[in-house]
Amino acid sequence: MNVNTQTEVMKNEPSNGKGAQRYLTIVTVFIITLLFYVNVKSGNNFIRVEHPSPFRTQIFNITIIRKGILIKPQKVDYFICPTFVGRIGNKLFLYASSYGIARSKGMKVVINTNCELLQYFTLNADIRKDTSICHSRNVKTIKEEHSAVYDKRLLDFDNTHNVRLVQYLQSYLYFDRYKEEVRNQFTFSDEMIKKVTLLLDNKLKGYDIYRNSTYHKNHKYKYMKVYNETTQKKITLIGVHIRRGDWAKYPDAGYNVPTKEYLRKAVEWYQSRTEHLVFVVASNGMEWAKDNMPKNITTIYLEGNPAWVDLAAITLCEHFISSSGTFSWWAAWLTGGNVTFFKWPAKEGTRFRTAYSKDYKDYYYSHWIGL
Ligand SMILES: *[C@@H]1O[C@H](CO)[C@@H](O)[C@H](O)[C@H]1NC(C)=O
Ligand SMILES: *[C@@H]1O[C@H](CO)[C@@H](O)[C@H](O)[C@H]1NC(C)=O
Ligand SMILES: *[C@@H]1O[C@H](CO)[C@@H](O)[C@H](O)[C@H]1NC(C)=O
Ligand SMILES: *[C@@H]1O[C@H](CO)[C@@H](O)[C@H](O)[C@H]1NC(C)=O
Ligand SMILES: *[C@@H]1O[C@H](CO)[C@@H](O)[C@H](O)[C@H]1NC(C)=O
């Protein structure tokens, strides 16, 4: 029912007496009927409906009459506003957890067009140039207690207003129910995959390795499939991320950086289960990484790339050795396969330790292997 269009048509009719007049009458009656209908409805502009989620939801359909023109009914949703801070790993947690919470409430995440994640991923969010709705007075702000502990209070609101979630939301429990949806959104573009495939090809040159196809065809999120040129045996790529940087620089902050011992144990964990391994290492402390990775294995080092490129490249591996920090966490999650992690990332008795639960179970999946 588009009154506008009909009015247009009417205007464009050649004025040929009766025909036009009859047409005008029909359209007028139509409009009057429509306006009457809308008026009857507008006594009850807000219509309460049941949302098909297990949670009770209100969605408002508002019919707006402006200058006698009927505007298409608009659906007014309520939003969850993540409060983005930090770098890649922080942002991925903030988006994924906000998405999971929003999804469970029948709400949408609203993000600004300048959000870094949008340069790499297609997100199922309400993306706006103007996100002032996240800062208006009637937005409810809910603060987490600990940054890496699943906090049920964060879900304790009803979805009839906009909500700002503060702040880190570093627990997979916020989004695990929708992990497939999150994974689909966190998928790199074909262009990026092509780029990092070439990058790995170049690194693997000289190692007697060839790539058969770009991806493993049976694996939904595709990893590189490579073979030993001489033996034709399949080679398994193990991604490794070694967090250094600020974690290594400020030991008093309570950070435990992965040790040489951990790297050895993790490498051996894979060696004892799989043959023909190649380790693909990314780190923000490459010198230390090179000095401390076990020596008698085939290792390639990703150097001089933006962190996003490193992330895309290591996630083409089949399994993962993670260390500490959220970048490592996400590299592991996106890679899938087997994941080892360094236990534990926080020094006992420090303030940083309180970010995590006692057993770290809200942060690390129970099927990940702590070494
Ligand atoms: C609200 O609007 C949407 C989209 O216009 C429509 O699909 C839905 O049926 C409407 N709900 C009610 C209760 O009118
Ligand atoms: C690539 O792998 C497939 C099986 O995965 C094999 O049939 C094919 O011969 C291989 N191609 C080359 C060029 O090695
Ligand atoms: C490929 O196989 C040859 C022969 O067994 C071996 O010497 C070489 O180290 C292998 N290359 C890799 C990268 O595993
Ligand atoms: C590789 O090095 C480790 C010590 O770093 C040693 O225990 C192991 O025997 C070595 N393996 C081979 C095949 O040389
Ligand atoms: C390692 O990954 C394989 C699949 O890639 C899975 O079947 C196996 O259970 C995993 N092992 C562990 C200890 O997680």
- Provide the pLDDT for residue 216: 62
Average of per-residue pLDDT across 187-198: 91
Q: Give which of 356, 324, 355 is closest to 340, Cα–Cα.
A: 324
- Provide the pLDDT for residue 37: 55
Residue 333 has pLDDT above 60, yes or no: yes
pLDDT level of residue 33 (50, 70, 90 thresholds): low
Task: Give just the sign of the alpha carbon dihedral 94, 97, 101, 107.
Answer: positive
Q: Which atom of ligand 5 is nearest to the CA of 336?
A: 5
Query: How many Å apart are CA 324 and CA 126, to the nearest integer?
Result: 32
- Provide the pLDDT for residue 9: 38
Cis peptide bond N-terminal to 269, omega within 30: no
From 338, 341, 364, the mutation candidate for ligand 5 (largest count of ligand atoms within 8 A of CB) is 338
pLDDT > 90 in the chain, percent: 63
Which ligand places an atom closest to the C-alpha of 59?
1
pLDDT tens, 36-49? 554 444 433 333 33
Q: Give which of 310, 304, 305, 334 is closest to 320, Cα–Cα.
A: 334
Most confident of 123-137, 153-167, 170-184: 170-184
Which residue's alpha carbon is nearest to atom 11 within ligand 1?
A: 61
Average of per-residue pLDDT across 213-233: 79
Q: What is the rounded average pLDDT for all residues in the chain? A: 83
Chosen CATH of 188-370 out of 1.10.260, 1.10.10, 3.40.50, 2.40.50: 3.40.50
- Provide the pLDDT for residue 182: 97
C-beta of 275 in contact with ligand 3 (< 6 A): no
Please give the residue that has the higher pLDDT: either 211 or 94.
Answer: 94
Which residue's alpha carbon is nearest to atom 1 within ligand 1?
A: 61
Tell the burial category of 355 from Cβ atoms under 10 Å away from its Cβ (0-12, 13-18, 19+).
middle
- Provide the pLDDT for residue 167: 87
Q: Is 219 helix (H, G, I), strand (E, B) or coil?
A: coil
From 270, 271, 296, 299, the mutation candidate for ligand 4 (largest count of ligand atoms within 8 A of CB) is 296
pLDDT level of residue 157 (50, 70, 90 thresholds): confident
pLDDT level of residue 16 (50, 70, 90 thresholds): low
Do 179 and 365 touch, CB atoms closer than 8 A? no
H helices present in 211-283, as ranges: 245-249, 260-271
- Which token pair is 189? 């573009």
Average of per-residue pLDDT across 57-76: 41
H helices present in the chain, as ranges: 3-12, 18-42, 88-105, 179-185, 190-204, 245-249, 260-271, 286-292, 307-314, 326-335
- Provide the pLDDT for residue 13: 40
Query: How many Å apart are CA 19 and CA 38, to the nearest integer?
Result: 29
pLDDT tens, 270-285? 999 999 999 999 999 9
Do 325 and 342 touch, CB atoms closer than 8 A? no
Average of per-residue pLDDT across 299-308: 96
Residue 80 has pLDDT above 50, yes or no: yes
C-beta of 230 in contact with ligand 3 (< 6 A): yes
Residue 90 has pLDDT above 70, yes or no: yes
Residue 140 has pLDDT above 60, yes or no: yes
Which ligand places an atom closest to the C-alpha of 229?
3
